[in-house]
Amino acid sequence: MKRADKVEASFSEEGRYRLLIDSITDYAIYMLDPNGIVTSWNSGAQRFKGYQTSEIVGHHFSRFYTEEDRRRGLPEHGLATAIREGRFESEGWRVRKDGTRFWAHAVIDPIRHSDGTLLGFAKITRDLTERKLAQEALKRTEQQLSLLVQSVTDYAIFMLDPEGMVSSWNQGAQRIKGYTRDEILGQHFSRFYTPEDRANGAPEQALSTALREGRFEKEALRLRKDGTRFWAHVVIDPIYDDTGHHVGFAKVTRDVTERKKAEAALEEAREALFQSQKMEAIGQLTGGVAHDFNNLLMAVLVSLSLLRKRLPDDPAITRLLDNAVQGAQRGVSLTQRMLAFARRQTLNPTAVSLPELVQGMTELLERSIGPSIRIETRFSLNLPLIRSDPNQLETALLNLVVNARDAMPQGGQVIIAGREEKVVTSALNLKPGRYVCLSVSDEGQGMDAATLARAVDPFFTTKGVGKGTGLGLSMVQGLAEQSGGGLMLKSRLGQGTTAELWLPVAVTSRETRPSPAVVEEEPALVRTGPRTILVVDDDNLVLMSTGAMLEDLGHAVIEAGSGQEALEILREKRTIDLVISDQAMPQMTGLQLAEAIRAQWPDLPVILATGYAELPANVTSEVRMLTKPFRQEELAEIIAEVIEPA
């Protein structure tokens, strides 16, 4: 290339940059010599500060500062800092030509020759006065200030010709997009767009919007040179020359990928918190409803039991009573599921052998699932004992097996397996330690991702109206978590489902007890000599029912509707042999009543009746518990345990 051509090309490029700078009216962009004398002036500077080019070129830039800032030496400090640190940035009050003040954000960058000689300074000023008045306006201002301040390395600032060809390129553009200046000049800016955006005509729409509306702004995915994608905030402004002729576009791109990731993470955290709060609210409601329902069921079952004893032996009447009892017992089962979901069922954890428990209930499982389903068990040798409530565990296992049966209407195989696992970290947030994984697998149709995600939600069921409560898996999960473990479901559409119940290994085997899987004959009533028993409950139905059962057993009953009333009765009557109190009572709980009784009458036994596991973990062993709803046989048995027979 001839020297003249090189000069012309250099001038052309210099002219484009000058045109780019002169087209910006929202920023004052000008140069200072090494002593701070103004050597160039753009239209933005003229608009902000009020000086014409001829009025300001050749004057010291300190005249833009307030008198107090000049006394403090702030102009000189700004230049010295820019020389020493390579950059000076500040915000403060500045003075226009007419003496009025405005709040400005200013950046001073030193300009050096290739040999390091200081040639002067580039100074960019932005009027932030109006944007400073409102928070949202301030935020937009900071973004624009950041766009200017970080333009060298953190922002891609370049120019397009009217057809969208890249005609200038800065270091920020090279860092963000990966192209060097020589690689991208003369290329169409559409190469930064994704293939789908190019197919939709997004580049052309951006330029036409900028021409039509004077500005185009958007956040979208863009491409780097290496093909990777990043989230970009893009602003395109049309550029016109002094005659109003459109000569191109100013384009600014900022990489906002990290911000997008942070926003996505925040939204995910908010959704998780909302879901947790929703489930907690449902659990609180469910636990409260189940507690009250337990009281109602107790009154129904007690009344039916006593009524059956006193009615003549009429098969027609007996059949109706049996139906009523079965209906109430189904209500008890539903209540237990609700309590299990709410993590408020009363558990009696012991060391349990899973192979023995499953073997003991094999006949029950086979009757429950029918002849078309085959059960296979696979347990590791020397499988350690687990710690859980065997009665609740049997119910949970029965639920899982029945679910497996329902997933295979044409029949199939259910595999019940157990293996020991050592947990260090877990998706179930289990504490580190030894666990036994009890799994139930079927060959059914499985679940898609959406169904699997909701499978343990309360009251969610795929069995159709009237064919499921939607609490089965919630109950299993509640038992597992209340036992210190967890429930994990694994399923794929067309490949069956595996439910894994993770339970902690028992510390000792001395508390092992056999599984109560075998249905036994109804036990005979354990009777003691007649006693005087004080019954305390704030629910009149439960109070009357408990009293009726005690009187039927031959005891004398005194009733109290609160803990305070019970204490008053005890102070008046010294012949009371036993106190049976509800736990959940207003003002004074059953446990508080028991502590007050122990302080004044230490030899008087107390039995607490509770609808769910509301007692503190440190309850003394001297307090006996009776789970609602209880039968007359259970009541008689616990009375015999705490009172010596007459």
3-state secondary structure 404-426: HHHCCCCCEEEEEEEEEEEECCC
pLDDT at 566 exceeding the cut of 80: yes
| Residue whose tokens read 């073997």 | 359
To the nearest 10°, report the CA torsion of 79, 84, 86, 90: -50
pLDDT at 386 exceeding the cut of 90: no
Residue 260: band (very low, low, confident or very high) from pLDDT cuts 50, 70, 90: confident
| Of residues 198, 207, 200, the one with CA closest to residue 159 | 207
Output 383 or 273, whichever has higher pLDDT: 383
Least confidently predicted of 70-79, 412-421, 624-633: 624-633
| Mode of pairing for the β-strands spanning 373-379 and 412-423 | parallel
Residue 214: band (very low, low, confident or very high) from pLDDT cuts 50, 70, 90: very high
Quick: pLDDT tens for 426-483: 777 788 888 999 899 998 888 877 776 666 665 555 554 444 444 557 677 777 887 7
Residue 630: per-residue pLDDT? 78
Tokens (6 digits) for 184 = 């991208």
Residue 272: band (very low, low, confident or very high) from pLDDT cuts 50, 70, 90: low
Q: Which of 91-105, 291-305, 320-334, 615-629 has the highest mean pLDDT?
A: 91-105
Percent of the chain with pLDDT over 70: 74
Quick: pLDDT tens for 172-186: 888 899 999 899 999
Residue 367: per-residue pLDDT? 74
Quick: pLDDT tens for 43-89: 888 888 899 999 999 999 999 999 999 999 999 999 999 999 999 99
Q: Which of 2-6, 45-49, 213-217 has the highest mean pLDDT?
A: 213-217
Residue 121: per-residue pLDDT? 95
Least confidently predicted of 203-212, 481-490, 613-622: 613-622
Least confidently predicted of 90-104, 239-253, 501-515, 584-598: 501-515
Task: Indicate the SS3 state at residue 93.
Answer: strand
Residue 639: per-residue pLDDT? 87
Tokens (6 digits) for 176 = 């963000």
The mean of the pLDDT values for the chain is 79
Residue 212: per-residue pLDDT? 93
Tell me the whole-structure pTM to 2 decimals.
0.36
Quick: pLDDT tens for 305-323: 777 767 777 776 667 666 7
Tokens (6 digits) for 251 = 């384009």
To the nearest 10°, report the CA torsion of 521, 522, 527, 533: 150
pLDDT at 224 exceeding the cut of 70: yes
Least confidently predicted of 61-75, 130-144, 262-276, 521-535: 130-144
CB atoms within 10 A of CB 268: 10
Assign residue 538 a region: left if phi > 0, alpha if psi is -120 to 50, beta otherwise? Answer: alpha
Least confidently predicted of 138-152, 236-250, 380-394: 138-152
| H helix or E strand, kind and range, residue 392 | helix 390-406
Query: Which residues lie closer than 8 Å to 90 by C-beta, 6 or more apart?
Result: 74, 78, 105, 106
Angle, CA 336 vertex, CA 332 and CA 337 arms, to 5°: 120
Q: Render 105-173 in DSSP notation, one character per residue.
A: EEEEEEEE-TTS-EEEEEEEEEE-TTGGGSHHHHHHHHHHHHHHHTTTTTEEEEEE-TTSBB----HHH
pLDDT at 187 exceeding the cut of 50: yes
202 burial type by CB count under 10 A (0-12 exposed, 13-18 middle, 19+ buried): middle
Mean pLDDT value across residues 627-636:
80
Output 283 or 564, whichever has higher pLDDT: 564
Do the beta carbons of residue 26 and residue 126 sit within 8 Å? yes
Mean pLDDT value across residues 402-412:
84
